Chain A
Amino acid sequence: MNRKLAWALATLCFAVLFVPGLFAPEHLSPPDMANAYLGFSSAPPFGADASGRPLSEYAMQGARVVALPALLAGLLVVFLGTLGGLLACTGSQRAEAAAQGFGEVVGALPRMVVVLVVALLVPKDARSLLPIALTWAVLAAPGAMDEAAAVASRLGGARFVEALRAHGFSRARIYLIHIVGMNLRPVLMRQGVETMMQVVFLEIGLSYLAVQDSQPSFTHGDSEKSWADLLYFGYQAFLDIPSSHGLFLGLALVGVVALMSVFVTQAVRAR
């Protein structure tokens, strides 16, 4: 796929997913039983829930729940991955051993277990996806750091830096432009966007489990709805309840998140 086209599609997916979050209402509209279970065509654009409230509000609130935490988690992975790549270029065995030690301990933890412990420790009135997303990012970082370090090592590591120094380039230019900008970028961007996708899916997973058990979610306040609520509402279509439009919308949002990840990976692939 052409890189420009991939960028355009990735940007479009990003906009479709996260821009609506900026316009999300603070609370859902009051119930209107006359609109209950109306489909796409009867209650545009996305139909209504069992209380007649528009599903578009679910989608917008869900976007607000995931947008900022997913973005910050992605950026954190990019930052830590950059650090891993640059450490590999220093040629220091001590730094390498320290990075490996961090990776071994952090990478050896089953992520969901840690996430649940963090969710448990966050006070109820401060529940948000952000601490969970950042924890997930730290747990995902060893993979990104390893991959970035492998790319840096393939470049030649410290010898690559020395060679460019011999050409008269400044350290800032070598590290920021030649190593990070030109060589680590594909790996870092892919890892960052994959983490974003994982955080969104994690939010959906955690919220779905909570909704299924009729419990408040760990990732957002009780007044907000997430995309998991759409899936939960839509899933009842299997029980002959006319809610398939909710399932369709929920799955479509999941699909757009996955597509965004694919398009970004295509757009930043190495030349």
Chain B
Amino acid sequence: MKRWWIRPLVRVVAACLLPVAVPAVITAFIWALPGDPASIICPPELCGGTAELAEAWNLDQGATHFYTTWMGAAMTGDFGNSWRLQPGVPVGELLASSIPWTAALVVLAFVPLLVGAAGAAARIIPRQVDAILQAVGLTPSVVLALCAAAVVTITYGAFAFDDEAMRVKLLLGALCLGLADQALSGAVTGVRGLMEEERKQRYVQIAILRGESVLSNTLPNTLGALAGQMRARLLHLLSGAVIVEVVIRIDGLGDLLWQGTLSQDFGVVLAAAFGFALLSALLLLLQALVEVATALHVRRSPAGVVS
């Protein structure tokens, strides 16, 4: 109780560590594998002059040099050029064109989760709905995405990349992402469980007897945990976006990451992983901020109480 700041502090440290550690681990892995990195990324029988490629990809002066150069440039927003996916094209441009799609997809998918969580917290969504949500949530994202892709193909055929078709894809993709892999059911049951547990506390019962509202009493004590749950849900959506984007063919960050992986383009993969790590770090910081604010609020003496 006294050391309430340990948890937010660990989160802040983790948030600072994450964007630095993710590219470091990937770089370390490239050099840890047997053989020289340029040959691993593009075998000589496919790419020919490995020494030239190593120089072009900055792989010829060791892991530390590669990492520090890459991180230094990434801090200024320069992610270098694509190695193999679209050789020569700046990765920053690829990221800039793909991030808005993923952001729209994830935000659209997050809205029903937020509504579901709020509904569960306020007891608007009855418990009987849980079974239905859980049954739907057992469906893997690839299966729901397949259904969405079928709808788009049947409806739009060759015009599946028109503006209207893309809007429909986004909506259907968000629906798949929100429902599949227990995203919505997890949000509803998770928040309900947390709030119901809190409602059983003695101080809430006394607050009810005093005519105060339940939510205003329980919320400060559960806000930290709720922020944690919402952060986990957002990460879950970001993770699932890869499959949904590729199957439905939305040109988002997940699709870019997948294409980069298929073509063994470390320039793209490193930048995309860094982007995801940055986003995750931001979410961690937000959660820590909510926890600190809540802790300070809870610990503030109510007006009129003499200590």
Give chain B nearest CB distance to A97 CB in angstroms: 6
Which of B3, B142, B239 contacts A208, CB < 8 Å?
Answer: B142
> How distant is the Cα of A101 from the Cα of B13 in the complex, in angstroms?
9
| Pair A120/B269 contact, Cβ less than 8 Å | yes
Give chain A nearest CB distance to B69 CB in angstroms: 20
| Pair A100/B7 contact, Cβ less than 8 Å | yes
| Pair B33/A121 contact, Cβ less than 8 Å | yes
> How distant is the Cα of A123 from the Cα of B281 in the complex, in angstroms?
30
> How distant is the Cα of A190 from the Cα of B225 in the complex, in angstroms?
22
Which of A93, A201, A209 contacts B246, CB < 8 Å?
Answer: A209
| Pair B276/A113 contact, Cβ less than 8 Å | yes
> What residues of chain A lie closer than 8 Å to B261, measured between beta carbons?
116-117, 119-120, 218
Say if the beta carbon of B14 comes within 8 Å of chain A: yes
| Pair B146/A104 contact, Cβ less than 8 Å | no
Given the contacts A110-B276, A208-B142, A97 and B10 also touching, CB distance less than 8 Å: yes
Q: Which residue of A lies closest to B143 (CB)?
A: A254
> What residues of chain B lie closer than 8 Å to A101, measured between beta carbons?
10, 13-14
Which of B40, B142, B241 contacts A201, CB < 8 Å?
Answer: B142
Say if the beta carbon of B306 comes within 8 Å of chain A: no
Give chain A nearest CB distance to B117 CB in angstroms: 18
> What residues of chain A lie closer than 8 Å to B75, measured between beta carbons?
none
> How distant is the Cα of A212 from the Cα of B242 in the complex, in angstroms?
14
> How distant is the Cα of A208 from the Cα of B261 in the complex, in angstroms?
15
| Pair B7/A113 contact, Cβ less than 8 Å | no
> How distant is the Cα of A62 from the Cα of B268 in the complex, in angstroms?
31
| Pair A116/B269 contact, Cβ less than 8 Å | yes
> What residues of chain B lie closer than 8 Å to A108, measured between beta carbons?
14-15, 18, 235, 280-281, 283-284
Interface size class of B (residues with CB under 8 A): 35 or more
| Pair A117/B273 contact, Cβ less than 8 Å | yes
> What residues of chain A lie closer than 8 Å to B140, measured between beta carbons?
201, 204-205, 254
> How distant is the Cα of A101 from the Cα of B238 in the complex, in angstroms?
22
Say if the beta carbon of A3 comes within 8 Å of chain B: no
> How distant is the Cα of A258 from the Cα of B180 in the complex, in angstroms?
12
| Pair B143/A231 contact, Cβ less than 8 Å | yes
Say if the beta carbon of A33 comes within 8 Å of chain B: no
| Pair B239/A111 contact, Cβ less than 8 Å | yes
Give chain B interface residues in 137-157, CB to chain A under 8 Å: 138-143, 146, 150, 153-154
> How distant is the Cα of A251 from the Cα of B150 in the complex, in angstroms?
15
Q: Mark B210-233, 1 if CB is under 8 A from A, else 0.
A: 000000000000000000000010
Say if the beta carbon of B272 comes within 8 Å of chain A: yes
Which of B3, B13, B26, B238 contacts A117, CB < 8 Å?
Answer: B26
**What are 8 A-B pairs with beta-carbon distances under 8 A?**
A107-B232, A108-B284, A112-B243, A121-B30, A198-B181, A208-B146, A215-B262, A254-B140
| Extra contacts besides A104-B284, A208-B142 (12): CB < 8 Å | A101-B13, A107-B235, A108-B15, A108-B280, A108-B283, A110-B239, A120-B266, A201-B142, A208-B146, A208-B247, A209-B258, A212-B247
Please list the residues of chain A having a beta carbon within 8 angstroms of any beta carbon in chain B: 93, 97, 100-101, 104-105, 107-113, 116-117, 119-121, 123, 143, 198, 201, 204-205, 208-210, 212-213, 215, 218, 228, 231, 235, 238-239, 251, 254, 258, 261-262
